A and B are shown apart, each in its own frame.
Chain A
Amino acid sequence: AQSVTQPDIHITVSEGASLELRCNYSYGATPYLFWYVQSPGQGLQLLLKYFSGDTLVQGIKGFEAEFKRSQSSFNLRKPSVHWSDAAEYFCAVAPSGTYKYIFGTGTRLKVLA
């Protein structure tokens, strides 16, 4: 069965520090991969997505993610975190051509001033 693992439930970083949020998936073929962000009381906003092609994907708000097939990973990175990045981040996977998104359990990011 397909699954998504976000091993870090909480992460705390200082403002200006770099960030990496981990995501691992279990799926036989290359799925569609997504990162969403959810601010408190808000819906989920798409940060970036990977369908095919270049394995380094650029998203909004200065985020990027790299698809590594050999590691079944799709980690999210940002070189310098801003206080406004404090939120919960969800990785999601969908088998190619389907809408059956499977979401990870989320990583809550706290940013220290």
Chain B
Amino acid sequence: SQQGEEDPQALSIQEGENATMNCSYKTSINNLQWYRQNSGRGLVHLILIRSNEREKHSGRLRVTLDTSKKSSSLLITASRAADTASYFCATGGGSNYKLTFGKGTLLTVNP
């Protein structure tokens, strides 16, 4: 069952612009995570936000979480060509530590 759904499916911006990706989910969560995947590679963990947090920052990344709307957003500021990748949200927690991933947003940053 698909828990997280990212929006948009694809996003193309110019270097230096900000990129915003959204994630919606269906059931209650313990935390929500964002991962990045470069083409043909494994996923890399970016940031985790717990259900009792509303906003979190890490470098150029800003994540928000609205549990009442069951949604999260990932903002990448001052984007670089190296940020070109697919970005996935994942919801998880609970007794078996499973994560459920969305289908991802493909971000292209043009130089």
Same assembly: no
Chain B residues packing against A (C-beta within 8 Å): none
Chain A residues packing against B (C-beta within 8 Å): none
